[in-house]
Structure 1
Amino acid sequence: MDAELFPRSRAKIAPGAVHVPDWLDLPRQRELLDACREWARPPAGLRTVRTPGGGTMTARQVCLGWHWHPYAYARTVVDGDGAPVKPFPGWLAELGRDAVRDALGEPGGGAVPDAPGTPSPSYDIALINFYDGAARMGMHRDGDEKSDAPVVSLSLGDTCVFRFGNTETRARPYTDVELRSGDLFVFGGPARLAYHGVPQVHPGTAPPELGLTGRLNITLRVSGL
């Protein structure tokens, strides 16, 4: 919003989970959006994810570095066009490390380093989800990685309700957080395997200057593979 009666401030949602509003300024959001549009092009482009039970996710997805499919990783789009997954760029890994440092106050976010002498997480996976106004994401855990490094979540476009829960159940207790374009959410340490989801997207709330209809969520992870 152009004017805030009460400016938003960073918030600790749970131990190890931090929301940082407006972390990406508008020029950086545009740069990231332009990159997402290139990544979404085939081959290995934006696809509809199908679950083993025959259902489909309403948010469409493209992957970088490693291709995620329910519930494993591969080097090719095994549930799509079969093309090699697009490479994970070094600048995106650096963005992930900066995000953890800014949100949690230390490069590793309290997680065990990937290897002795490794000062910060080595991000090598991006899952990019596109939500139209009707898309949702059910409560789930990011548990297919071999690393416990913090998950970094960046939002572009429409505002959403992000539901951040506990590590034991998809049900309460949970906290609903409003994520707007440019916001950062990081969760690691005791919150690394917390259930989370997106129960609602608010259409038409993206910054007009961005030129995006819908919401993009860029999630960065360390594979440990």
Structure 2
Amino acid sequence: MDFSISRWILALLMSLLWILCHIHVTSSEIITANAVVRHNFANKNDTYRMLWSAKVRAAPFCVMECARDIECASALYNKVTKICQGHSVTLGNPAVAFDEPNTQYFLKPFGEHYIGDSCATTTDCWTINTECRQGLCSCLPGYSFSPKTQECKVCDQYDNQNFMAIENHFLSKSNVEEFSPVTVEECIQLCVNRTDYLCVTFEFWLSDSCALQNVTVLDLPHKWFEDKNLAFNISHYQRDCA
């Protein structure tokens, strides 16, 4: 091959590499066939259900990081800091997020109408065993969120960190152990650290009381009640699938 031609090919390849490494897309562009831009979290950030964070060169690389992770449903990318965040849910409530300029939000195709996405009625929620609860798509009571299979189901194994809350509901007379005073975070650790039984749900009420349970609503549907008068400020927590 002629030396001048080979140098020209090398220069062309280097130029293409530079373009790939420095490309920046606008918030109205589709990044790849595997993710689209969502505008509801533009210039916003939220750490809810964050799987990981990594520093990458540009938005397309952030999308690729999320694509590699089967549990990743969406990603936030800051064009200035270059930080990419992967999330196991769709972030559907920007009202609870904090402001972060230069941030873009990307969603995998299955993230549409997924867990965490905003909704008006249950028909807006397309994931199996879900309902629209307080304006967000959530697992039905008794079913656990499984990021690996993208569904709500009865678990074979349980996660050691994440729980999904159902506010103002409780299982009557189903407590195995009770603790007070504790925080929600301490209650989670008490649940996942049980060794003499499998803690799959817990309830937290009056801001400092924790009750661990080894059953779900599916086991005892006749004991499932709503705290209609909000007398106890109680929430029922269902453990995620591993």
The TM-score normalised by the length of structure 1 is 0.27
Higher RCO (CA-CA < 8 Å; seq separation 6+)? 1
User: Higher helix proportion, which one?
Assistant: 2
| Structure ID, larger Rg | 2
